[in-house]
């Protein structure tokens, strides 16, 4: 389905009936990342998957897509569907977008799950890496995507899930350069969301990959001590929907049915 938004197209899918669950993909991903999870969740829920700005079948709005920009587009889809309450699961960048939406529209949230994601802002080193990548991607798009994408997986997962990695990589390579730059710049500029996440009413969960080099799970665990934010840990890397598929399915179903 397509929603016309600011003279651009926002693509989303709608499956099932019941309490709403919203799934937001990560950087260089699309709604396709949820293909294995949607059939399970849609047995009891209305499941909404949205292509974030500059990804999949959704258009770019400019050369900077802030997390607020992406959150506003998500909100427009939900408003169009007359969804007033939902449980949200955001993978990586999708988690940042979900946090931005929670800060702006906290009344929407029954629950919020950060999947291989963080409430922290980028540190200075990560910000520099994003700026360098945004320059490199203009002339070495495919080689940069291939190099960075493999690092999302734990070393043994690159072999064990070689076919799944290649499928996800091919989707990533279809991302327009503008979409890459706009999202990367938006992530670089995002604030720390810990305070608003901590204060949000509803169920809160963080899914941590023990071999995820992008998200510092130990640091997150120390920060959520003495809060009502729960966490679970999986054995592998940043791509839990591929590397820990069965465990993820179980934990997400438990989370949305609370």
Per-residue pLDDT 10s for the chain (258 aa) are 999 999 999 999 999 999 999 999 999 999 999 999 999 999 999 999 999 999 999 999 999 999 999 999 999 999 999 999 999 999 999 999 999 999 999 999 999 999 999 999 999 999 999 999 999 999 999 999 998 888 999 999 999 999 999 999 999 999 999 999 999 999 999 999 999 999 999 999 999 999 999 999 999 999 999 999 999 999 999 999 999 999 999 999 999 998
Question: Domains in the chain, please, with CATH?
Answer: 2-256 (3.40.50.1820)
How do residues 126-150 score in pLDDT, each as one tens digit?
999 999 999 999 999 999 999 888 8
CA dihedral 36, 40, 45, 49 (to 10 degrees): 0
Burial class (CB in 10 A: 0-12, 13-18, 19+), 12: buried
Model pLDDT, residue 162: 95
Q: Which residue has the tokens 């305070």?
A: 195
Q: Which of 156, 161, 158 is nearest to 147 (CA)?
A: 158
Question: Which parts of 190-257 fold into alpha helices (H)?
Answer: 194-199, 217-223, 240-243, 245-256
Model pLDDT, residue 100: 98
**Is pTM beyond 0.85 here?**
yes
């Amino acid at each position: 389905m397509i929603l016309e938004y600011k003279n651009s197209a926002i693509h989303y899918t709608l499956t099932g009936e019941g309490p709403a669950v919203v799934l937001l993909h990560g950087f260089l991903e699309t709604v396709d990342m949820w293909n294995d999870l949607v059939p399970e969740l849609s047995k009891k829920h209305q499941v909404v998957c949205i292509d974030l700005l500059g990804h999949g079948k959704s258009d770019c709005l400019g050369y900077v897509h802030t997390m607020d920009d992406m959150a506003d587009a998500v909100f427009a889809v939900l408003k169009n569907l007359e969804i007033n309450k939902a449980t949200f699961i955001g993978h990586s960048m999708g988690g940042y977008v979900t946090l931005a939406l929670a800060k702006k529209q906290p009344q929407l949230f029954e629950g919020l799950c950060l999947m291989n994601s963080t409430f922290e802002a980028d540190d200075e080193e990560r910000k520099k890496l994003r700026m360098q990548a945004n320059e490199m991607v203009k002339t070495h798009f495919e080689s940069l995507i291939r190099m960075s994408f493999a690092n999302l997986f734990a070393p043994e997962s690159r072999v064990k899930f070689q076919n799944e990695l290649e499928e996800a990589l091919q989707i990533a390579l279809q991302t327009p350069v503008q979409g890459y730059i706009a999202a990367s710049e938006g992530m670089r500029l995002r604030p720390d969301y810990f305070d608003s996440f901590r204060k949000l009413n509803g169920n809160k969960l963080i899914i941590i990959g023990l071999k995820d080099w992008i998200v510092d799970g130990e640091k997150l665990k120390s920060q959520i001590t003495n809060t009502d934010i729960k966490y679970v840990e999986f054995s592998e890397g940043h791509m839990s929907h591929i590397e820990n598929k069965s465990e993820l399915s179980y934990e997400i179903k438990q989370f949305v049915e609370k």
